[in-house]
Amino acid sequence: MTDIDSASRVGTETALEFSGVVKRFPGVVALNGVTMSVRRGEVHAVVGENGAGKSTLMAIASGAEVADEGSIVVGGRRPAGGSPREALELGVSVVYQHASITPDLTVEENLVLGVPARLRPRRGDVSRWVREQLALTGCTVHPHDRVATLSPAERQLVEITKAAAARSTILVLDEPTESLTAQETQRLFDHIRTVTADGTTVIYISHRLGDVKAISDRLTVLRDGETRGTFVTADVTEHRILELIVGGDVAHAFPPRPGRTGPGTSCSRSGSSPAVAPTTSASTSGPARSSASPGSTATGSRTSSAASPVSNPRPAGCGCATRSSTCPRRPARCAPGWRTCPRIATRAGCSSP
């Protein structure tokens, strides 16, 4: 998508606006004065670490949660809040990371029941209507397949098809490519470009910065429940986005561990920010970490003490934790006693148990 194409497609009309939104849960402030404006016809990405408040903000937009303070305006109207049906009538549809379609029903039944009554086809037109909706998103499942028999990727595409069939003016996609292949991701991007060309607004929540850079027009960074800025995607680098997400220099936030060197220490591409979770070689020159949990090695032994060398080195071929711009590879199988790093997008590789 070129800057010219984006500029000609995205207008200045506001489709969704949050002003000073606050949401508290017992013991935590999930959102603290979040302000964000989304334009009609744009792909607006929302990025941040786990717990930054992204999903909570979208839950408020969808009517699943009610803000404790602040306001939300959808297409010039201020919803009462707390009603997903009202949000759907206002044109807001959410595709959650974990599919919400009913597994015991068929694809056809889920699609028909998932749209407002005024949009449901007549009984004699159901099969044709369902095939048309599936074709729009490139979903190749059979309408009579039970959802329980589908793969996670197929369920995600059915979920997206259901939201698109509701003729939403605002489509929220929460980690939509998490279970999709590269080919399925490309089909999804093609569909996003098609619906935004017709004026639909897409809010794209993802930790995969490569996807964010490829599909979004603007992005908003959330950290600790607060807005850290809204930017034109083409004008901000991935490294700068990471700095905003973690609240400082990436290398300072996640410094290399002493003595951890060897292949796979960095999995960054040219021009990308460095991966900051180093990997372990077979021999360690620095002080070793002790592990309270069992670490299975080739001999099944446990790491003896903090002063001993690491007896469970990073296995060859143990890949990156996520596939993103800074970690382009998919996870490889880790040896017993090792796990992928939980810090999404900002750390990669494996760590000892």
List, in sequence order, every beta strand (DSSP E) within the chain. 14-25, 28-39, 43-47, 69-74, 92-95, 170-174, 201-205, 218-223, 226-232, 339-340, 350-351
Distance CA 272, CA 257 (A): 21
Token pair listed for 308: 């001993």
Residue 171 pairs with which residues in a beta bridge? 93, 202
Residues 111-139: b if buried by 16+ CB within 10 A, e if exposed: bbebbeeeebbeeeebeebbeebbeebbb
Distance CA 256, CA 340 (A): 16
Distance CA 201, CA 167 (A): 11
pLDDT tens per residue across span 303-317: 333 433 444 444 444
pLDDT the model gives residue 70: 93
pLDDT the model gives residue 11: 58
Numbered ranges of CATH 3.40.50.300 in the chain: 3-246
Look up residue 271 and give its amino acid: G
Q: Cβ of 157: how many Cβ atoms within 10 Å?
A: 28
pLDDT tens per residue across span 234-250: 999 999 999 999 887 76
Name the percent of the chain lying above pLDDT 70. 67
Distance CA 15, CA 37 (A): 8
pLDDT tens per residue across span 42-89: 999 999 998 899 989 988 998 888 999 999 999 888 887 678 888 888
Is 3-246 in CATH node 3.40.630.30? no
Q: Between 102 and 336, where is the model more confident?
A: 102
User: Which residues neighbour 76 within 8 Å (Cβ) at sequence distance 6 or greater?
Assistant: none
Contacts 24+ apart (CB under 8 A), 117-123: 119/165, 119/166, 119/167
pLDDT tens per residue across span 174-221: 888 887 788 888 888 888 898 898 889 999 999 889 999 999 999 999
pLDDT the model gives residue 119: 85
Region 150-162: what's the mean pLDDT?
84
Nearest C-alpha neighbor of 77 from the set 67, 59, 64, 91: 91
Q: Taking all residues of the chain, what is their mean pLDDT, rounded to a whole number?
A: 74
Region 152-162: what's the mean pLDDT?
84
For residue 154, what are the CA distances in angstroms to 151, 194, 203? Answer: 5, 20, 21
pTM of the model: 0.65
Ranked by mean pLDDT, the top range of 100-104, 297-301, 323-327, 338-342 is 100-104
Helices 152-165 + 126-137 axis angle, to 10: 110
